[in-house]
Structures are given as structure tokens and as C-alpha cells.
Amino acid sequence: MRIAMIGSGYVGLVSGACFSDFGHTVVCVDLDEAKIKALEAGVMPIYEPGLEQLVERNVRDGRLSFSTDLKASVAGVDAVFIAVGTPSRRGDGHADLSYVFAAAAEVARAATGPLVVVDKSTVPVGTGDEVERIVREARPDLQIDVVSNPEFLREGAAIEDFKRPDRVVLGVESERAREVMGAIYRPLSLNGLPMVFVARRTAELIKYAANAFLAVKITFINEIADLCEATGANVQDVARGIGLDKRIGSKFLHAGPGYGGSCFPKDTLALVKTGHDFEAPVRIVETVVSINDQRKRAMGRKIIAACGGSVRGKTIALLGLTFKPNTDDMRDAPSLAIVQALLDAGASVRGYDPEGMAQAKALMPTIDYAGNAYDCVTGAHAVALVTEWDEFRALDLGRVKELLAEPILVDLRNVYPVAEAERYGLRYVSIGRPV
């Protein structure tokens, strides 16, 4: 199959590279000339394990290419995937669909024959209907089918998720669209992976409902962690005890500083706004959004409390700045709110992250940055472990204690056993565990 991928960001680039690895011919299109030139030179715009090698192999084999020319890229293809951004709109929190609609209109004008246009971007219910109206108005002479095909990619594990997904959700409204999408995803269906064909609006809602449910699980265990601290219980044992129940499951039951990233914050907010628009409010999700926003700054107060209630004039070291490990994504990362809370309290902040330093510096230009974990903690009055990168899981805690001005370790990911930290003489604070 011949595919054009409009948008070469996280979703578009990963999806395009994986489709080409399936044997399809794919061109990834982007208006950003610098990004396309970098991709042609083998330089990735994002950090994602295995992506550089995947792109290099498929470019070399002639299945994957990059372009800024949408018109030429769309000519003669079987399907066009729209994978542009849908950020939260300023002012009201709704998903900004202007990029999706603009891409749809341009694709329709450039089409040279029957076409399937696929919404890969995360979009609210009813977006596909508007895309269909736009393309039919632009090209009433062509058969253009519109499909919803939401992505379920975890940053840091996106290639594995694409090639071995739990399911592929396909919102189709015609037999022709079903046949084309079936052909595109045939390599997965041959492996017995579930192809979930549903109505287009249902597919759009599946994406939001899935992310909202996972956000609820994260927020639930975070509140249970607070209760554990108040009662002397251990949140890790509670999580294991409930996670073994197959109706609940163990995933997304790890207490921490709150969720962030490119999906959960904007998708939960967009679902809340959709509920309001359709007069079917999702009160649980509304509460989750509020609790999560408050929790991030509360983690800053937790660090301050560990330092005796004041950090004025003190240096606080943060290990890990991205919202999760194995990505350079800083969008809505808990570290942003934590840093602001510490700065507001008069502290100086020094940070280190294995992959997110460039992005962090753009968002937090007033803090100091170190070249490695040990340089980061040197002379600091406390160190907070914010993101559980693998390299932070085996720190020499004895060395950390010697380098710190005060032996305070605030573990916001519960990486270390309490007894191990205390064995090295650290004043150890964690999430939802008795000390």
C-alpha cells in the first residue's frame, strides 16, 4: 500500500516508520523544513528507543521518505493519515482541531483519485464528521472515505506498542474503508492481533475513554498513597494486594508525583469539555484533572517539608525532569510544577535528566543544570528523585550522602527500599510508605 503521513511528530514519525517496516511505501510530510532536512540526514527530532535504527533501515530500503511537498506526496496514494497536533486550546481547554481541519482540506485538494483519509490524531467525538464534510466540500468529484484510527503508543515503548498492540481500533463508515484499513494492518491481523472495527464516533471516544481510565487509576493510587502516609500503611503493598485482582490489574498502580506527557493531561481535559458540550458531564474525570494538577505542586511542598519546612537559600537537586523515563518529552511533566514551587519558596534548583536537558532548559531557563547525577547532587541540601530512569535505580547511595550538604533523599517514585536508603544514613522520604 502507498501511504502519506501528514505530520512527522511523535505519532506520525513512529507510525510512518512502522508502516514502512510492514512493507508499505510511506512518505512522511511536514511543513517544518528543518525537521525534514534533519530526518533526511538521519537526525531524529525526538528521543524514542529504536526509532533511529528503524528509520535508517527503511529509508535505506526505499520504503520510507520525507517531504515538505504535501501535494506531490498525496498524489496516487491509497491512504493519507493525519497525525498533526491537537493541543489544548487556550482559554477554554478544548482540543484545538485547526491543524486537523487545515490538513484535511489540503489533502482533499491534492487528491488524484479515490482516497481513505485517516484521523490518527487524538480528536473529540464528531471530528471525523467535520473532516468528512470538509473533504467532500473540497472534492465532490472524488470518493474520499474518512476513518478514525486512534493511536495507543506509550512514549519510550512506542515501536513495540505499534507492532504488538493490545488491539487496533478502526472507526469506519464504509466497506471500502474497511477493506483499505484491513490491507494496511494485515501484517498485524495475520499474527492474530485484535482488529476492532467500530463506528467512527465510537473509535474517537474509545481513545479518550482509555486514557481517562488510566488517568483515574494513577490518581486513585496517588490518593491511596496519601492515605497510607496518614495511617502508616504501605502503598506498594496495597497496590500489589489490589492489583492481583484480575478485575483491577497491576498496571498504572504506581504511586508518584502525578501524570504528565503529551496525552493524559490534554485528553482528560478534552473529554471533560466534550462532556460539557453534550450535557453528559464526566464528573470522575473532572475530579481527576483537578487532583492531578494539585498533586504536582504538592510534591514541591513535600520536598520543602523534608527540609524542615524551609528551603530559602538552599539548593535542591532534581534527578529526572521528563514526565517519564525513556523519552525527552517535557510536556506537563511534574518537574515543572515542582521546580516552580521550590523557586517560589526561595530555593535554588539544579536538575539533571539523561535525555530531556535541551527541552528542560527551554522551559526552565532559570535553574542550573548538571552533566550527570553525581554532579547534580554535589553540595545540594536535598535531592529529589522525580523520574525513574534506569541509571537512577542503582546510584551509589553512600557517595550521594557524602556529596550532599544535608543527607536528604526525597524519592517521589519509590525506587529504593526504605531500609537501603537508611542504611547509608540518608534521611529518606518516599510516597505512601512508612519510614
Starting from the edge strand earliest in sequence, which strands make up the sheet with 64-67, in order? 64-67, 25-29, 2-6, 79-82, 115-119, 144-148, 168-171, 195-198
Quick one: which of 113, 117, 150, 148 has its CA closest to 134?
Answer: 117
Which of 18, 263, 307, 376 is labelled catalytic?
A: 263
Using the Cα atoms of residue 153, residue 154, residue 159 and residue 164 in order, give the sign of their dihedral: negative
Kind and range of the H or E element at 183?
Answer: helix 175-184
Q: Could you tell me if 40 and 56 are in contact, meaning their C-beta atoms sit under 8 angstroms apart?
A: no
Backbone angles phi, psi at 207, to 5 degrees: -60, -50
271 in helix, strand or coil?
A: helix
Q: Which three cell numbers stand for residue 346?
A: 526561595
Per the annotation, the verdict on 263 as an active-site residue is: yes
Contact 85, 123 (CB under 8 A): no
d(CA 191, CA 30): 32
CA 200 to chain centroid:
23
Q: Which run of H or of E encompasses 216?
A: helix 200-231
404, with CB counted inside 10 A (0-12, 13-18, 19+), is: buried
Instruction: Point out the residues that are catalytic.
Output: 263
